[in-house]
Chains A and B, each alone.
Chain A
Amino acid sequence: GAVVSQHPSRVICKSGTSVKIECRSLDFQATTMFWYRQFPKKSLMLMATSNEGSKATYEQGVEKDKFLINHASLTLSTLTVTSAHPEDSSFYICSASVGANVLTFGAGSRLTVL
């Protein structure tokens, strides 16, 4: 079946640094990927829709300059948290559409900003 690989699974960084999270579709091409943020014991909040070869579409309230999304190929989308601060600590999850609105999710990336 369709597999989405997300890396790294855990990352700890110092305040003010930038962190890149990768989301790869391993056995299929994904023209559209989605990035979510999840706080402890909360639901998934859609941050942005990543489209291959074009600019990402951000949800209302999500700072595009803080959360940079690049979808340069049909199998890779990246999320860069720029100038990270402790309030950016969260669980970030990506998903890819495998057709007909069906999504496959990555395993998530736990970001801790000290």
Chain B
Amino acid sequence: GENVEQHPSTLSVQEGDSAVIKCTYSDSASNYFPWYKQELGKGPQLIIDIRSNVGEKKDQRIAVTLNKTAKHFSLHITETQPEDSAVYFCAADAGGTSYGKLTFGQGTILTVHP
């Protein structure tokens, strides 16, 4: 089955700096790679996603890049703000007709210091 590795496990930055979180996956059939933000005691919220036919996608301060050959994808947050502090999870689908079955990375605790 799919295996998703996420690094780093913790990331501490100063407000205004950029943050980068990286993930690798094992199943070459995976086509969908979402990123979720989870605040304490809440469910994950989708912040950005990318599909295998695209190499990069950007939404304001957030961007995701995908390298299908190397099987890795990354989340980039620019101009970080204290409210960006949360746990971030990457995920990859099971490919084919998996209908939303995702495998999650281990999570990254992002702390943005004012």
Contact = CB atoms under 8 A, between A and B. Distances in A.
Given A43-B89, A44-B89, A101-B99, A110 B41 contact: yes
A77 interface: no
Secondary structure at chain A's binding surface: helix, strand, loop or mixed? strand
B51 to A, nearest CB: 8
B96 to A, nearest CB: 11
A102 B43 contact: no
Interface of B: 31-32, 34, 36, 41-46, 49, 89, 93, 98-107, 109
24 contacts: A32-B99, A34-B100, A34-B102, A42-B107, A43-B105, A46-B102, A49-B99, A93-B43, A93-B44, A95-B43, A95-B100, A97-B99, A97-B100, A101-B93, A101-B99, A102-B49, A102-B100, A103-B46, A104-B46, A105-B36, A107-B42, A108-B42, A108-B43, A110-B41
